Amino acid sequence: MSDCKKKLKRPVSGSKTADLIAAIGSLVVFLINEIGAMALFMFGGLRAMVNFTSQISKILRQIAAIGYGSLFLIILIGLFTGMVIGLQGYHTLSQFGSTGFLGSAVALSLIRELAPVLTAIMVTGRAGSAMSAEIGVMRITDQIDALEVMNINPMNFLIAPRLTASLISFPLLTSLFAVVGIFGGYITGVLLLDMSSGIYFSRINSSVVWGDVLGCLVKAVVFAILVVTVCCYKGFFVHLRLDGKGAEAVGNATTSAVVLSCILILIFDYVITSFHM
């Protein structure tokens, strides 16, 4: 019912410290609830992925939206990221007279960190926000309720295809980012700053090991699950938001989905890197 408004309970008490502690306490409880709900949502989505054979047309549609749709953006960002690392790296390394290491610097920083993180953040901004808004609008126009009443599980219908498509798209986009970035480094290092192309590529070849590539792909997979979970969750429960109703709530949900995704990407990046080192 539209007029059913939830009121935040404010603890009333005499002392300010007690109020503060109560406020912190309720915030912590709220955060724990949110994390738990999101984790359950994620497991629900992952479990629903089992039925992927019946979702192929929806998965294709999502790959087109997430993967193909981000192709140009990733190429552009990857190219310029590689070029700027090439430029910065060259000038830093030239102070030690070891510009020969430019290839290693570009390839390792791209493969280990920049490709997975920047790809995930870019795709969040492009596809994640769209996911959140689309599912949010479906929620406020009763479409999700209609699915449920028809006994069509929204997890199967909406979330699982997006998860599967992201799990396919993210590693591919991340690889594309890294390869285009290495080419960007080649443009600055070899074409503009007259390094030898043989040294550039042989350094890349000798410094990158399988563990680096594996770490990069692990990050891409983790970020895929993270982004889809957060963005779909925020859209899916848009009707429970306290900071607005209707279209405003969808806007707020989209904003918070993108912000939270980016924060979690960076936190998980640190965690995975520390395991990997």
Partner 1 sequence: MEQPLSIELKNCTMGYGNFVVLKNISLQIPAGRIVAILGGSGGGKTTLLRHITGLNRPFSGEIFLEGKSLWSQSGRDFQKLRGSMGVLFQDGALLGQLTVAENVGLRLSELTKLNKKTIREIALYYLSLVDLADYAEFYPTELSGGMRKRVGLARALVAEPPILLCDEPTSGLDPINAAKMDELLLSMKERFPAMTIVSISHDLASVHKTAAQVVVLNEGHIAYNGNFSGLENTQDPFLRQFIERKVSSDKQEEALEKSLPDNIRQLMYDSLKDIIHRS
Partner 2 sequence: MKRLEFTVGIFMLIGLACLGYLTVKLGKLEVFSSDGYTVQAKFTSISGLKTGASVEISGVPIGKVTGITLNNNFLAVVDLLINNDIVLTDDSIASIKTSGLIGDKYVSVSVGGSETLLTEGGEISDTQSSLDIESLISKYLFGDVK
Q: For partner 1, which is the closer residue by CB, 20 or 242?
A: 242
Choose among 141, 164, 168, 132: nearest CA to 255. Answer: 132
Residue 213, contacted partner among partner 1, partner 2, none, CB below 5-8 A by kind: partner 2
Which residues lie closer than 8 Å to 144 by C-beta, 6 or more apart?
135, 138, 154, 158, 236
Residue 36's identity, in one-letter code, is G
Applying CB under 8 A, the residues found at the interface with partner 1 are: 1-4, 6, 137-138, 141-143, 145-152, 156-157
Q: For partner 1, which is the closer residue by CB, 156 or 254?
A: 156
CB-based contact 63:165 (threshold 8 Å): yes
Minimum separation from the CB atom of position 101 to partner 2 (A): 9
Minimum separation from the CB atom of position 177 to partner 2 (A): 8
Torsion of CA 168, 170, 174, 176, to 10 degrees: 50
CA distance linking residue 159 with residue 50, whole number of Å: 12
Q: Which span sits near partner 2 by CB under 8 A: 44-52, 142-150, 171-179, 243-251? A: 171-179
Residue with tokens 């798209």: 169
Residue with tokens 């192929």: 56
DSSP string, 241-271: -SS--HHHHHHHHHHHHHHHHHHHHHHHHHH
Instruction: Figure out which of the listed residues 22, 93, 147, 172 binds partner 2, where binding follows CB under 8 A.
Output: 172
Residue 194, contacted partner among partner 1, partner 2, none, CB below 5-8 A by kind: none
Minimum separation from the CB atom of position 125 to partner 2 (A): 18
Residue 113 binds to partner 2 (criterion: CB under 8 A): no
183 CB neighbour count, 10 Å cutoff: 16
Minimum separation from the CB atom of position 213 to partner 2 (A): 4
CA distance linking residue 228 with residue 205, whole number of Å: 34
Residues, the chain: 277
Minimum separation from the CB atom of position 27 to partner 1 (A): 19
Q: For partner 1, which is the closer residue by CB, 30 or 80?
A: 30
DSSP string, 21-48: HHHHHHHHHHHHHHHHHHHHHHHHHHHH
Q: How far is CA 240 from the centre of its chain?
A: 23
Letters for 17-56 (x = contact with partner 2 by CB under 8 A, - = none) are ----------------------------------------
Residue 169 binds to partner 2 (criterion: CB under 8 A): yes
Binding site for partner 2 (CB under 8 A): 60-61, 63-64, 67-68, 71, 98, 107, 111, 168-169, 171-173, 175-176, 178-180, 204-210, 212-214, 216-217
